[in-house]
Structure 1
Amino acid sequence: MKVIGAGFGRTGTASLRVALDMLGYGPCYHMSVVIAEPFRVRQWLDVGEGRARDWDEMFAGFQSAVDWPAASYWRELAEHYPEAKVILTVRDPQRWYDSVSDTIFASALAERRPLPVRRRIIRWLVARRVPDFALYPRMARATVMDRIFDGRIDDPAYVVEVFERHVAEVRAAIPAGRLLVFDVREGWGPLCAFLGVPVPDEPFPQVNERVAFRRKWPRRQFQLIFRGR
């Protein structure tokens, strides 16, 4: 592991993932990897619920990791991989909250309400076809919603406070020479200087999944139903 992303989801982690791949620090581990490979859901559930933790096995084949759930364990990963550099992606706290509440948190809050019949049927079919993936909501609660936000993702002021406290804690814990506090709008310059690599000729990637988020999740469930793993 050469790079550890300590930034919360929806701080440009998807763009950073692509950028790290382009710079030769890939493959980069991201929540999308967990969704694409359902066996990883159970791995993270074991971590979140305190049953097992083997970082080398979980990240085998990856040179970097960004986004949740890995970012929830930035302290542990920074200690386990002492030579890895740490990148803390940041953005305006209120804009971040607007984004996360409209995507990740909206899905998590929907899980707290009684599911419509159609969604219960889809959930049952997914559980039969790919049991590991059916554990995703439980895994997300254990590694992110409860671990990071104490389950209070419906409290905007508290969520923003946690975000700001997290930024301060990472800054305080990681030595300056090992840490880059990075807004992806800054582009290649700070990132390449921090990693000591040339600036690519291509534009810095801009991956915005906010619009596609709600379409992507149902589509993935149907893929699992009809295609299995």
Structure 2
Amino acid sequence: MVVLLDREGNEVARSGPVEGEPDEPIDVTVLDAETGDPIQGALVRGRCNFEGSTGEEDQSQETNEEGVATLLIPPSEGYTGCDFNINADGYESDSLRIGYDGVDSDMDMDDPEDVTVELTPTEDGDGETHTATVVVTDIDGVRLEGVDVDVNTYEAGEDVAEGTTDDCGEVQFDVGDGGYEVRASAEGLAQSSANMGLSVREDTTYVINLYDTDEYDGEGPRGRVEHHRTRTM
């Protein structure tokens, strides 16, 4: 944890985890959306992001025979939130978002609870692709032209597609169902680690906010994903 002090030695800001406070375990139960049966071997993978920092703590768990994976959610103080992707062979992927002041989140980081995620089976030989529209802006929401965007598979890190934003700050990719990591790069600008994970199972718009590396204070807006999620608590 990083603590900033004023000249009198008073704390004025901090980032990173709070020492001494225990993580809260939650069970993520992954089920087949059509049969209700547990899915063994589903990969639940993601990260919890430090406030005012690009640091993160990665977690990766496979579900057991009961379809359950246990995640550790840190205390909210010192963190902005957690992002997880859920993937299983033969199923459309899903995502789980915790914290971020409740904006586009599935639960509050101060009160995490067990959650059930239902994955929809994919049709054999379907081969359907979806259009992923990536919009890149600065932290004030101004769209940026000429930003390079790379898309990789979330689990294996394999290259999927690359492109450059047009004069509307957009670039489109045709991708299949799955979890992806989307990285945008431009000189003098940086991307938060909280703003990279993307789960695709339908046409999706993904907004990436880039910040000035010399001026960003850790409080800028996070990215948002516009797609449908199915889950039960």
TM-score class, shorter-chain normalisation, is under 0.3
Structure having the larger proportion of residues in strand: 2
Structure having the higher Rg: 2
TM-score, normalized by length of structure 1? Answer: 0.26
